[in-house]
Amino acid sequence: MANGQISAVNIDPAATQSETQAASDVAEQLDHLLAPAHPGTRHSPRHAFVIFGASGDLASRKIFPALASLARSGELPDEFTVVGVARTELDDASFRRLVLDATGDEDDAWRRLVPRFRYVSGDYGDDSTFRKLCGVLSEVDRDCSTGGSRVYYLATVPSLFGPIATSLGRHGIARAPAAKTRASDEPFVRIVVEKPYGRDLAGANALDELMHSAFDESQIYRIDHYMGKETVQNVIALRFANAVFEPIWNRRYVDHVQVTVAESLGVEHRGGFYETAGALRDIVQNHVMQVVALTLMEPPAASDAQSIRDEKVKLLRAIEPPDPAEVVGNSIRAQYGPGTINSEAVPGYRFEPGVASDSTTETYVALQLSADNWRWAGVPIYVRTGKRLPKRLTEVALQFRGVPHLPFQGRLSRDLGPNVLVIRIQPDEGIALSFGAKVPGAEFRLRSVSMDFSYEAAFSERPHDAYERLLLDAMMGDATLFIRSDEVDHAWRIVDPILSAFSDGSTSLHQYAAGTWGPHEANLLLERQGRRWRIP
């Protein structure tokens, strides 16, 4: 087993040889998928990493620190460099300073790499920008031995994704040059695209058309940083590396599923962007749909990109887009007003910088979905996300059905709740299972207790940050954790009718005070079905 990450797959001593073989095959496949728990165990092949939007916020906050961290843990080769592209006028030296300001310069490996970073300034609509880029790429191939391989990273505003991709195609740098050396060192060209991928299904299809005019689907790496989170990947480990969970992971035992993505922050300095997005586009279409797909998909035959993404697509296809009447009954949208978080007074959404004073953009969404397939028919999937909720927390909870007959009635079982399996994606990453136990004493009184696994307590290995993991995967050509074109389509197909109902006024915009768990109406969504949201 390459990395031993889940080498704890237990093999029963009484198992037959073929059962033992099958168990170790599964373990080996999952080891491959979950490989980089030990930073430093994988190495990117040589290439130039080209960032569009290099002077922007995302590059400084996420991408440069992730690259620096990969350099520190020895995962970047010597034959590597970064080429920044942006409109801001900078020269190479000031770009290098900007990078070091974002990352610090304590690490030797990183300090050695940065002096060769290059910068191209220019308008993205201007052919001369791409001509300059072609020249710089030839120079870095010569000076840094990057071998004609490139990873392009689109960290610009989304409206530029298509135009940049087509310009790369037009200038002949979207395809890898012919291999000159041994096959294992064949040049490659890949393009990583940030979210949002389109504003709706039609927009995503139009963007795909532009992307595909220059790049093959196999070259396109659509990023959803949630897929890079260790605990999101752990959903796969929990489900498919353990014998005890999968048999009860279905409609016969699960009463309903709750997915919560809660943030305590407001829109910060991104009010202008958020006004054009809203919670449904910003979180539900991508992060929530990915988490739902991994949690509810069928077991993949293998852990390669195609097998896993095929299963995710099958699950998303089983979620019927709601019709307009259903949207009104099954979705709640709301916006935060002023309130208090951590004893601090915070303004309402309409008072945030860049937000219209009469804005109707939703900062909270609660939805009921269902997956109409053999495994999940009739099991409600409740999802909610919001800004300015009491705390930052992402979790998936499977609430199980009750026992067929409870012999302990009334007072004896008053403190007994349902069995719930909670996968805490962040923070305080872990898994908890609540179950009933007897309270010590003469009476047979029951109370719910929780068995809790904490990632931090169990492992000493340093996890990769989500961007680090995903950048390294893209460099290595592993697309498993990236979003395929048909996944994007299906996620928009589900969200599109809800977006229309939100914008045509057929659903009301509710209010909630910052620092609360959302509007009262979201509670009613579950209460009318005899259920309630978890209070994490």
Cα 289 to Cα 225, 305, 491, 506: the distances in Å are: 13, 18, 6, 24
Where in 28-67 is the site for ligand BG6 (CB under 6 A)?
Answer: none
Residue among 5 and 394 whose Cβ is closer to ligand BG6: 394
Q: Distance between terminal CA atoms of the chain?
A: 37
- Rounded Cα–Cα distance for residues 203 and 276 (Å): 14
Q: Where are the beta strands (DSSP E) in 277-418?
A: 331-337, 339-341, 344-346, 364-369, 381-386, 393-400
Burial class of 104 by CB neighbour count within 10 A (0 to 12, 13 to 18, 19+): exposed
| Catalytic residue (one of 47, 225, 287, 490) | 287
- The closest of 226, 309, 316, 296 to 480, measured between CA atoms, is 309
263 scored as a contact of ligand BG6 (CB under 6 A): yes
Closest separation in Å from C-beta 55 to ligand BG6: 20
Residue among 225 and 333 whose Cβ is closer to ligand BG6: 225
Closest separation in Å from C-beta 274 to ligand BG6: 7
Closest separation in Å from C-beta 277 to ligand BG6: 7
- The residue sitting closest to ligand BG6, measured at its beta carbon, is 282
Hey, what are 273's tokens? Answer: 């962007």
Q: Is the dihedral of CA 510, 514, 516, 517 positive or negative?
A: positive
Backbone region of residue 354 per phi and psi (left: phi > 0; alpha: psi in -120 to 50; beta: other values)? left
Where in 439-458 is the site for ligand BG6 (CB under 6 A)?
Answer: none
Residue among 225 and 424 whose Cβ is closer to ligand BG6: 225
Residue among 159 and 181 whose Cβ is closer to ligand BG6: 159
Please check whether residue 518 is in contact with residue 330, taking contact to mean a CB–CB distance below 8 angstroms. Answer: no
Instruction: Look up 287 and say whether it is catalytic.
Output: yes
x/- site string to ligand BG6, residues 171 to 210, per CB under 6 A? ----------------------------------------
- Rounded Cα–Cα distance for residues 265 and 387 (Å): 6
Closest separation in Å from C-beta 294 to ligand BG6: 16
- Rounded Cα–Cα distance for residues 499 and 496 (Å): 5
Closest separation in Å from C-beta 189 to ligand BG6: 26
- Rounded Cα–Cα distance for residues 363 and 266 (Å): 9
Residue among 238 and 279 whose Cβ is closer to ligand BG6: 279
Residue among 252 and 462 whose Cβ is closer to ligand BG6: 462
- HEC states along 108-158? HHHHHHHHHCEEEECCCCCHHHHHHHHHHHHHHHHHHCCCCCEEEEECCCH
x/- site string to ligand BG6, residues 347 to 386, per CB under 6 A? ----------------------------------------
- Rounded Cα–Cα distance for residues 510 and 495 (Å): 19
Residues 6+ apart with CB under 8 A from 438: 444, 445, 446
- Rounded Cα–Cα distance for residues 447 and 440 (Å): 10
Residue among 282 and 429 whose Cβ is closer to ligand BG6: 282
Where in 217-236 is the site for ligand BG6 (CB under 6 A)?
Answer: 225
Identify the helix (H) or strand (E) that includes residue 447: strand 446-454
- Rounded Cα–Cα distance for residues 174 and 216 (Å): 9
The residue written with tokens 């008053």 in the block is 414
Residue among 311 and 395 whose Cβ is closer to ligand BG6: 395
Closest separation in Å from C-beta 260 to ligand BG6: 11
Where in 267-296 is the site for ligand BG6 (CB under 6 A)?
Answer: 282
Query: Contacts with ligand BG6: how many residues (CB under 6 A)?
Result: 4
Where in 384-403 is the site for ligand BG6 (CB under 6 A)?
Answer: 394
Where in 331-350 is the site for ligand BG6 (CB under 6 A)?
Answer: none
Residue among 233 and 394 whose Cβ is closer to ligand BG6: 394
The residue written with tokens 């069928």 in the block is 298
429 scored as a contact of ligand BG6 (CB under 6 A): no
Closest separation in Å from C-beta 311 to ligand BG6: 23
Closest separation in Å from C-beta 220 to ligand BG6: 19
Where in 116-175 is the site for ligand BG6 (CB under 6 A)?
Answer: none
Closest separation in Å from C-beta 25 to ligand BG6: 33
Give catalytic residue positions.
287
Interacting residues toward ligand BG6 by CB under 6 A: 225, 263, 282, 394
